[in-house]
């Protein structure tokens, strides 16, 4: 946790750490690759573009086990998201809440929903219009990291802010 | 959609008259006491049914597999049989069966009627008492002879254990294929032994948690097809689907009431918490049962419909609670060391099955309805979601290992665990009542 917190100030670094951590999960498929995160074009991202948001702002925050509290590192990310979203008001926003696999299916649907709502509420408190924000829970049905250990579970306990309703 | 439930509804059961042996003085008949702690499987000889070419052997094979998987019977290898049954209606040479320790013997025949129906009959013999215990014949459409075999297995199970069987049943589940981060999930239905799989959705949307209606004709489940995850009702026969209720947020964790008139489920609140509602399917009226700033989910009715068991994290972590069907008297019943979820009330009413997470593992267990007498039946790295066989003796759940979930059953002793064969990964099993 502390490691991620320290790195959140540099979104490119955190993206790299995320993809490295996934690569560490044996050699299984890594959906959350550098390309998915827009790293390839990081320097060239047009300000105000979805790529700009994902790469330079950071589209996701992470949670502790069975918790929907917004951690300090996540607050930093969400504050940055709010600032960006308030600057670029053309986007409708869907916040996806996700859980790791270490819970039962129905409970994790509820937990993912709670995480999405906590994320939404934080953004609203930072001035983002509630009218622009929708939430959806995927429970544990959409993991990005697919190994069976703690490093993967921590990446799956997430809320992802998606622009224009695009899925992640 | 191809008709799934209708073809066998023409089954007609008729008692077969006893043979001469039945007139012998009554003696204590072979009987299994399934309430004993450790049941020794009963040695039983199941002969190939006569006639019908390969069909006879197929039927006896299915009967044998059903009984064996129950853990209560030990079918004897056919190569050990001494008497070759040529007339399944004639009294067998009991000495020949006693000497191979067959305490019970099944004979039978199968034939095609002029009208195209299949006629199957069986006789169950007590070899040591030297008499017939039961005999019935069935007429069925040709479409699903496996069902005839399951019905015969149920009859034998019931005659020998005194309990209803559970072989003539189906299971709805989620068929899962593809990589873990891009799983295709499809609604599917199959016989309880894994045969006759049919798909009820195309896999374009995530579908989860299907549950059978008491009338066996409908399934309630959750789908992402509209974008927002919602609870739906599906008519198995016609494929007709409808949304359950007109709620603003996510609805999930549905289950039917025992009379089939209501669906109980969780509704997401705007504050991110989830409460339990029941919707009357006729009047469409909804009733709120819980109103907590917590996660309240996985509701399951008691078989008499008077109570509801559910999961809530209102006390910090997820635990099991019981309340009246009107939401009254919400009381926590789980107090063990761990996190409890997915409670399901036994069809007999005596037990609640659950998933418990403790010490980094997932356990399937049962407790009495007041929370006492907790017993763990199965422990694994990742497993969850028990569903009861209609006789309340066996649970099915799903276990994640080797890259994805598969279905497993375990009986109430915890000693008889069986995997249910499925072509792909499989999760969220829900057992039907006995078919009719």
Q: Decide if B336 contacts B357 (C-beta within 8 A).
A: no
Q: Give the CB-side neighbour count of residue B123, counting CA atoms within 13 A.
A: 22
Tokens of A158: 């997430």
**Tens digit of pLDDT for each residue in B329-349?**
999 999 989 999 999 999 999
Q: Is the pLDDT of residue B117 over 70?
A: yes
CB contact under 8 A, B208 and A105: yes
Side by side, the strands of the sheet bearing B170-177 are B198-199, B184-191, B170-177, B425-431
Under DSSP, the state recorded for B36 is: S
Domain holding B368, by residue range, is 171-431
Residue of B nearest to A156 (CA): B181
Task: Give me the DSSP letters along B316-347.
Answer: SS-EEEEEETTS-S-EE---SSSEEEEEEE-T
Q: Is the pLDDT of residue A8 over 70?
A: no
| Nearest to B400, CA basis, from A161, A8, A74, A143 | A143
Is the residue at B166 inside a domain? Answer: no
Q: Answer yes or no: do B207 and B152 share one domain.
A: no
Mean pLDDT in residue range A88-98: 96
Does residue B324 sit in the same domain as residue B262?
A: yes
Q: Mean per-residue pLDDT for B94-116?
A: 94
Q: Are residues B141 and B192 in the same domain?
A: no
Domain boundary among B161, B183, B204: B161
The answer, yes or no, to whether residue A33 has pLDDT greater than 60, is: no
Burial class (CB in 10 A: 0-12, 13-18, 19+), A134: middle
Per DSSP, the three-state class of B9 is: helix
Position B436 in a domain: no
Mean pLDDT for all residues in chain B:
91
Contact state of B272 with A111 under an 8 Å Cβ cutoff: no
Mean pLDDT over A42-57 rounds to 87
Nearest to A105 among B179, B250, B428 (CB): B428
Q: What is the C-alpha separation between B341 and B320, in angstroms, rounded?
A: 6
User: Looking at per-residue confidence, does B6 or B156 come out higher?
Assistant: B156
Helices (H), B132-201: 145-161
| Residue of A1 and B184 predicted with greater confidence | B184
> Rounded CA gap, A66 and B318, in Å?
10
Chain A residues in contact with B185 by the CB 8 A cut-off are: 141
Please check whether residues B353 and B268 belong to one and the same domain: yes
Give the C-alpha separation, B292 to A113, whole Å: 15
Same domain for B113 and B230, yes or no, is no
Fold (topology level) of A2-163: 60s Ribosomal Protein L30; Chain: A; (3.30.1330)
Tracing tokens 């309240």 back to the chain, one arrives at B296
Q: Which of A101, A105, A114 sits opposite B272 (nearest CB)?
A: A114
Q: What is the pLDDT of residue B36?
A: 59
- Nearest CA distance, B343 vs chain A (angstrom): 11
Cα–Cα distance for residue pair B186/B97, rounded to 1 Å: 47
Question: pLDDT tens digit string along B54-75?
Answer: 889 999 999 999 999 999 999 9
Confirm or reject contact between B361 and chain A (CB < 8 A): no
Number of CB atoms found within 10 A of residue B360's CB: 7
Q: What is the pLDDT of residue B98?
A: 97
pLDDT at B94 over 60: yes
Inside any domain, residue B46: yes
- What does the block give as tokens for B317? 């972590």
Enter the DSSP assignment of B39. P
Q: Is B166 on the interface with A (CB under 8 A)?
A: no
φ/ψ region of B194 (left if φ > 0, alpha if ψ in -120 to 50, else beta) reads: left
Q: pLDDT confidence of A84, banded at 50, 70, 90?
A: very high
Determine, for residues B229 and A136 on separate chains, whether the beta-carbon distance falls below 8 Å.
Answer: yes
On whether both B235 and B359 belong to a single domain, the answer is: yes
Give the pTM: 0.88
Is there a single domain that holds both residue B275 and residue B321? yes
For residue B403, name the pLDDT band (cuts at 50, 70, 90): confident
Residue A117 and residue B271: Cβ atoms within 8 Å? yes
Partners of B428 on chain A (C-beta within 8 Å) are 105
């Amino acid at each position: 946790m502390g490691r991620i917190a320290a790195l959140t100030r540099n979104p490119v670094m955190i993206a790299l750490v995320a993809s490295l951590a996934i690569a560490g999960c044996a050699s299984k498929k890594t959906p959350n690759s550098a390309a998915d995160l827009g790293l390839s074009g990081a320097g060239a991202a047009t300000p105000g573009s979805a790529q700009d948001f994902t790469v330079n702002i950071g589209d996701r925050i992470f949670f502790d086990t069975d918790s929907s509290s917004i951690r300090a590192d996540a607050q930093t990310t969400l504050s940055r998201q709010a600032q960006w979203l308030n600057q670029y008001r053309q986007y409708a926003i869907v916040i996806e809440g996700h859980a790791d696999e270490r819970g039962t299916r129905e409970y994790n649907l509820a937990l993912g929903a709670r995480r999405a709502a906590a994320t939404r509420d934080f953004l609203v408190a930072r001035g983002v219009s509630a009218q622009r924000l929708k939430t959806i829970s995927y429970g544990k049905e959409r993991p990005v990291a697919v190994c069976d250990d703690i490093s993967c579970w921590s990446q799956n306990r997430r809320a992802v802010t998606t622009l224009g309703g695009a899925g992640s | 959609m191809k008709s799934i439930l209708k073809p066998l509804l023409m089954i007609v059961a008729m008692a077969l008259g006893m043979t001469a042996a039945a007139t012998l003085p009554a003696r204590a008949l072979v009987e299994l006491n399934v309430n004993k702690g450790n049941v020794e499987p009963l040695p039983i000889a199941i002969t190939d049914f006569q006639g019908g070419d390969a069909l006879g052997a197929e039927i006896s094979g299915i009967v044998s597999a059903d009984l064996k998987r129950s853990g209560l019977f030990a079918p004897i290898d056919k190569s050990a049989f001494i008497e070759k049954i040529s007339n399944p209606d004639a009294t067998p040479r009991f000495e020949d069966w006693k000497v191979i320790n067959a305490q019970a013997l099944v004979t039978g025949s199968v034939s095609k009627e002029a009208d195209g129906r299949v006629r199957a009959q069986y006789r169950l013999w007590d070899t040591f008492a030297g008499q017939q215990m039961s005999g019935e014949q069935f007429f069925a459409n040709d479409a699903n002879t496996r069902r005839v075999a399951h019905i015969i297995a149920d009859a034998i199970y019931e005659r020998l254990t005194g309990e209803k069987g559970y072989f003539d049943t189906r299971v709805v589940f989620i068929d899962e294929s593809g990589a873990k981060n891009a799983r295709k999930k499809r609604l599917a239905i199959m016989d309880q032994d894994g045969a006759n799989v049919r798909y009820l959705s195309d896999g374009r949307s995530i579908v989860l948690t299907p549950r059978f209606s008491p009338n066996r004709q409908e399934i309630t489940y959750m789908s992402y097809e509209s974008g927002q995850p919602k609870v739906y009702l599906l008519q198995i026969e016609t494929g007709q689907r409808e949304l359950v209720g007109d709620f603003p947020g996510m609805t999930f964790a549905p289950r039917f009431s025992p009379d089939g008139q209501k669906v109980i489920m969780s509704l997401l609140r705007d504050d991110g918490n989830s409460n339990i509602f029941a919707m009357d399917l006729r009047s469409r009226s909804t009733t709120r049962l819980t109103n907590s700033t917590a996660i309240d989910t996985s509701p399951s009715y008691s078989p008499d419909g008077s109570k509801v068991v559910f999961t809530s994290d209102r006390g910090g972590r997820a635990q099991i609670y019981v309340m009246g069907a009107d939401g009254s008297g919400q009381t926590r019943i789980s107090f063990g060391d761990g996190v409890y979820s997915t409670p399901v009330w036994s069809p007999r009413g005596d037990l609640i099955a659950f998933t418990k997470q403790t010490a980094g593992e997932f356990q399937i267990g049962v407790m009495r309805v007041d929370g006492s007498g907790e017993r763990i039946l199965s422990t694994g790295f990742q497993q969850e979601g028990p569903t009861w066989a209609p006789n309340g003796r066996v649970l099915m759940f799903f276990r994640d290992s080797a890259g994805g979930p598969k279905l497993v059953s375990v009986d109430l002793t915890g000693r008889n665990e069986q995997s249910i064969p499925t072509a792909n990964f499989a999760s969220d099993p829900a057992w039907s009542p006995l078919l009719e």
